[in-house]
A and B are shown apart, each in its own frame.
Chain A
Amino acid sequence: MHAIARFVGLDLRSMRPNAKFLLIPAAIVVVTYLVASAQLLSTYLLIPAMSSLAVLNTPSHLFGNDERGRLDTLYAALGIRRRHVVLGRYATCLLLLIAFTVAGTLVAPVAALAFGAEFEWAVAAAVAAASVTLIGILLATQLPAYFATGPGPIRIVATIAPTILLSVIFLAWAVPDVRPGLPSWLDDTNPAGLTVAAIAALSILGLASTTLSARLYARRDL
């Protein structure tokens, strides 16, 4: 556990000098939303929009750092085992996913207030949970490819594929019948059961994904 925490610390340290590459896209998402989309879409959409940065931007940034700084060699020189590199990288991505989602969830009511839109915390919490689940699933499918090859060959595909998927989901959200249906759907659903199901799905997929990544990374010549 200590080794994983140490790796997360190293990952965050590697991001710190260039944090603007994560913060600027986050600011763009918020400003774009506030300027152009608030009326057309929904205040709640700010939450998955922020969460999506964790899959669109974070892995390519972290693995890009590995490539730029030959950090795979550094990890070995510092005695960080490959398995701990994998687990640590997953932990960093999850941490950033949660951070982006929380940021989106906190900005959303402010936007709702500014635009005079309705805002319910129950709906926001459900949207945040769904965002974490969806982006977590995308990360779980994306990260093994990064560990298998490094960022070079797959960076573009790994960014474009989730972009298309998320765009489809966002556009579907704009369909008039979908958005108002969510609160009533939530009323009819058992939120605890839904949460447990989402956590279970994410855990199983996350476990399979980390196992696969650990095997792929262990095989790689660095």
Chain B
Amino acid sequence: MNTTEHVVETVGLVKRRGDFTLGPLDLRVPRGFVTGMVGANGSGKTTTLRTLLGLVRADAGRIAMPPIGEVGVVFDQPFVLPYWRVRDAAAAYAASRPGWDQDWFDRLCRRFRLGANERVNKLSRGQGNKLMTALAMGNHPDLLILDEPTSGLDPAARADLVDLLREHMRRQEASLLFSTHITSDLEHFADYLVFVDGGQVVYSGAVDELIEEFAYIQGALTDLTAENKPLIRGLRRGQHNFDGIIRTADTAGFGPGVQIETPTIERVVVHHVRPRDEEP
């Protein structure tokens, strides 16, 4: 059993692409847990994952990863030939992935209702994602890196995929790094969260701590004062009401008229990426 605390670790990782700069990124993915990576489109999630996998060259920094044979990878679009059949793709994986388990792959295909003779270009987007997930899981990898695997899936299929990932996580060594902009997929599933915005890590830590660290606040506009307004992230004003996210430590800055609730991951993300104040 590998006892290293982190399955993936980056130190000072930097990637520049035109005007966009990712990092410097110090990222730690705990071994044996589900880590969700959230952020808006263009925030740097995919660039981070592609850099980890060596598909994109880092301009600076250090990356520690398990051998790629122990890592299963899924991106939001299939990366097998469109005119291949499901069995051709499986044969390509079987020839190269150590510990390939054809029975397990066949079971996953049955679960996902994928026929061995179906052509990749005839699959829907959701089915394509399922195929890539089955391929990635076909050799029981210790680490799964999934980039937007639920995009294109209907709610039932998304739930099924999350269930499958839960089953995968029952293995002692299994770790999962899961990037998504559908943050509801991570509720009650992710143990840790990496929140990326503008190429920088805004938050990295346990989901519980994130939810404890932030609070969702809503109240009447009359409850806003010059003193407490700067404490609100992503302040959203309605005709009479407002809402936003505050640090739990700042709760005392608001009067008894406001409602303060435990936030969802989505609320933290949505309000965090909004401008600090939004005057009507």
Contact = CB atoms under 8 A, between A and B. Distances in A.
Interface of A: 6, 9-10, 13-14, 17-18, 65, 68-74, 76-80, 218-222
A2 to B, nearest CB: 11
Given A69-B84, A76-B68, A13 B79 contact: no
A10 B78 CA distance: 17
Interface string B77-102: 11111111000100111011100000
Contact of A18 (B54, B57, B83, B95): B83
Contacts of A9: 95
Contacts of A76: 53-55, 68, 73
Given A70-B77, A73-B75, A222-B56, A78 B97 contact: yes
A68 B80 CA distance: 9
Contacts of A218: 57
A221 B56 CA distance: 4
Interface of B: 17, 50, 53-57, 67-69, 73, 75, 77-84, 88, 91-93, 95-97, 136
A69 B75 CA distance: 13
A147 B81 CA distance: 19
B91 A72 contact: no
A69 B77 CA distance: 10
B68 A79 contact: yes
A143 B246 CA distance: 56
A71 B79 contact: yes
B53 A77 contact: yes
A17 B81 contact: yes
A73 B92 contact: no
A78 B96 CA distance: 6
B55 A69 contact: no
B55 A73 contact: yes
A68 B96 CA distance: 21
Nearest to A3: B96
